[in-house]
Amino acid sequence: MDLDISVTQGLDEVGQPDWDRLATADDFYLSYGWLRTLEGDPYVSDHYVLTYDDGALVGALPIYDIRVEGSSFYAPRRHRQALTGGGRWLLAGGRRAHHSGILLSGDERERRSALRALLAAGLRLAAERDARGLVWMFAPTRVARWLHAEGGSVAFDTVEACLTADGWDRYLAGLGGRRRKSTMRERRRFEQAAYELAEQPLSECWQALATLVANLQQKYGYRTTPESMRRVLGPQAEFLDDESVAFTVRREGQLVAGALQYRFGDTLYARMIGFDYARLANAYEYFNLSYYLPVQYMERTRLRRLHLGIESARVKAERGARLHPLWTVAVPCDGSARVPAEHCAAGRRAWRERYDERVLPAEDWDVPW
């Protein structure tokens, strides 16, 4: 393939249909709308490496040069712990939401050609900016395999949870007996609370929802404020309103709980949740908003998968989710980054000692590194 390469610093120079045509259902956090919500950070230089074949976009890779990182999940120490030699790296494939990747189209040969072109251009950019190379954080196995085949070094990081559901009745049937009974009890208690329930686009509720999300984050030790959450949710309401669904809970017309999720392909992405704790009825609001209402919504809207993200893996597995590994992958300019083999094996082994293949799909965990 004879590919053309370009690098741009803003997505407004790329058409949304062309960009999103490359994205699979697994790529919401690489979608045009999501990436637009992240632009404009004064401490980050955004770059988008693009490959074209005869004028058609066939590959895309976001790359970020981050001067100040506000999220502990993306702090440089996370990938420096996994890689030998330390140093400064450019972050590739996404910088929020704990899921990254590369957008490619075509058959296997065409994807490989586009990937190599993207990597070559990305590594030139890294060298120009005095970085050691490119690093992907929270890469799924599919992406890690692509990069490993091109010489990338791979280290285990954590897991993400996804729940596949084909309707509420089948979801219940797939749970263990004790869990099925407790789920039915939690659902019944929530219904008895007689809340006012709605499914709303984010634009209708984002300012009030920001306060509830800040409440939850403060409860767990974060310094989030309603104002800081509005700065996050405002761009999402602007660029992602058509994909959004907020499951909202009211008492006497006042919002007391809400969960924000996004539709993309056949998947519903759980994004954030919040509560006015003083006004709750102690009716298992968290589990109903995080799992039960979304599963019922998926049945009505013919969605197949609920993406639940990282953390609280045990709770998610107990409620029917499967756990997929996420990897840190480094592609250095000079081939010097290495991951100790025992480091990667130990991470996988710890999870396999806790769960069996009903929870850990073998196609994601059986890897060549």
Q: 3-state class of 339 per DSSP?
A: coil
The structure tokens 């539709």 sit at 263
CA distance readout (Å), 190 to 17, 32, 187, 195: 41, 36, 5, 8
Greater pLDDT, 8 or 84:
8
Helices (H), 39-94: 76-82
Residue 338 confidence (pLDDT)? 66
Lowest mean pLDDT among 49-63, 107-121, 226-240, 326-340: 326-340
The answer to whether 270 and 312 have CB atoms below 8 angstroms apart is no
> Which is it for strands 90-92 and 254-264: parallel, antiparallel or unpaired?
unpaired
Q: How far is CA 200 from the centre of its chain?
A: 22
What average pLDDT does this structure show over 92-100? 94
- State the residue for tokens 């609280």: 312
Looking at residue 73, its amino acid is: F
What does the pLDDT read at residue 341?
60
Q: Which amino acid is at 259?
A: A
Q: Are 135 and 328 in contact (CB under 8 A)?
A: yes
Contacts of 183 (CB under 8 A, 6+ apart): 172, 175, 287, 292, 319
Gap between the Cα atoms of 276 and 257, Å rounded: 6
Contacts of 223 (CB under 8 A, 6+ apart): none
pLDDT, the chain, mean: 93
Per-residue pLDDT tens digits for 232-265 = 999 999 999 999 999 999 999 999 999 999 999 9
Flag whether pLDDT at 327 surpasses 70. yes
* Mean pLDDT in residue range 10-21: 94
Measured in degrees and rounded to the nearest 5, phi and psi for residue 143 equal -70, -40
DSSP H/E element including 322:
strand 322-332
Q: DSSP string spanning 111-178? A: HHHHHHHHHHHHHHHHHHTT-SEEEEEEEEHHHHHHHHHTT-EEEEEEEEEEEE-SSHHHHHHTS-HH
N-to-C CA span, the chain = 29
- 197 vs 95 pLDDT, higher one: 197
Q: Where are the alpha helices (DSSP H) in the chain?
A: 16-20, 32-38, 76-82, 108-128, 141-149, 168-173, 177-192, 206-219, 226-239, 285-287, 293-301, 313-318, 341-354, 362-365
pLDDT in tens, 125-167: 999 999 999 999 999 999 999 999 999 989 899 999 999 999 9
Question: Rounded to two decimals, what is the model's pTM?
Answer: 0.94
In percent, how much of the chain has pLDDT > 90? 84
Closest CA to 259 of 213, 217, 228, 190: 213
